[in-house]
Amino acid sequence: MVVGAVPEAVDFVVAGSGPGGYTAALEAARRGRQVTLIDPDGDDGIGGVCLRVGCIPSKTLIEAAETFHRTLHGAAMGITASDVRFDMLRFQRWKDERVQLLAGGVAGLLKRTNVAVKRGHLRIAEPGTVVVSDGEGGAQFLMYEDLLLATGSSPAPLSALPVDGTRVVDSTGALALVHVPETVAVVGAGYIGLELGTALAKLGAAVTIVEAADRILPSMDASLNRPLKRRLRELDVDVELDAEVHGADEQHLLVRRNGGDLQIPAELVVVAVGRRPNTGDLGLEDAGVAVDEHGLIPVAENRTAAPRIAAVGDITPGPALAHKATAEARVAVAALNGEPAAFSPQAIPIVVFSDPEIASAGVGAVEADAAGVDVRKTTLPITASGRAATMGQRIGYAECVSDEADGALLGVTLVGPHASELIAEASLAIEMGVTLEDLSLTIHPHPTLSEQFQELALSAGGVGPVQPIG
């Protein structure tokens, strides 16, 4: 601590106002704690990356792109429209209104629970004390009772392709475009690259996705590649795999593949090679908080990282998902309040808002086999769904993994329309220890996409799908 600095005594400090941070602040306040929420952008940062420049803006763009694309390609359904245009500037205004509406809602909740929001960058000065810098030379020392870190993550850089905010942008820049580029090169075929590339393709851009690995979604099951690549071909999206980016000129992305050089036309280059945790300048070593080689903070089951310090969200191991962060936040607050608590979900749903959508929960067959569980894998094509047929959807499938011994549902993967909404049923079923028999006896409404769960259970039991496969 700076000699002569007099710290202010506070109770419960939260660093970061994203989903994990504001959930923790609200939960702590609900339990009677006096909460100070610190964010580099203060009130303007409430909601974090997810709400302001990530989850919400990207899904808004995806929704708009899908509506535009379906309008243009509805002839088979008897829909013909003329002079259909997409106004990116108008979209940006509409998107910003959605973001401000949601951010205002969170801010209102924080205000009503008397959470004090401070602008500044937090750094641990010593165990029990943090310093909050305002970026202009000013600093305030706070002596806390408990500290919860939820500082999130930032787009990972690519040394060969520095982001300039104009020609080369990260995901934040791609979501702030004021016009649709004619040609776009997306570097990275993970979920962010796929989502952005697909949306821009539906809006009329000629898109090429470039990936260093040998398949798209390299961190997920390889079987997902087939339906995704089929749909990308339908959308005229080119995919270059095993490709190393080594720069860009004024009109192209420069790529090396199989020993040869490629020049990919690119009015805009989007760098989407992943995210990195925001832990580098928190002063963690001064509080005895460990950090692994990836910059992540190892935590106990109750999300504590050191005495009186907990960490949640993207800065901890596991999938970097907003809903994981919010669930962890409630556990962490309970732990810091001295209550027994553990974060031990059986299923954390993972969603990719691609086309088709992908969602999974629980374990896959490979993971179950590795754990020594004798499993049964059952797969049904989406063409078995009457509701999917009414939507003109023919790419995708539903798959479940069950315990061969007792029929317990262990995992579900969905590829198809509204998979992001449907996966919650699978998560609940896995958490509740539902068996295939339970699922097969649960009446699902017809015709709906949710029937896929019952059809899977029936098929796994040898009954076979009720609806004909078209």
Annotated active-site positions, please?
A: 446
Query: 248: which strand partners?
Result: 253
How far is Cα 94 from Cα 68, in angstroms, rounded to an integer?
15
Rounded Cα–Cα distance for residues 191 and 6 (Å): 47
Question: Rounded CA gap, 404 and 402, in Å?
Answer: 6
344 phi/psi in degrees, rounded to 5: -140, 60
In angstroms, the CA 380 to CA 382 distance is 6
Beta bridge partners of 257: 243, 260
Of 377, 374, 367, nearest to 347 by C-alpha is: 367
- Whether the CB-CB separation of 55 and 172 falls below 8 Å is answered with no
Measured CA to CA, the distance from residue 261 to residue 245 in angstroms comes to: 10
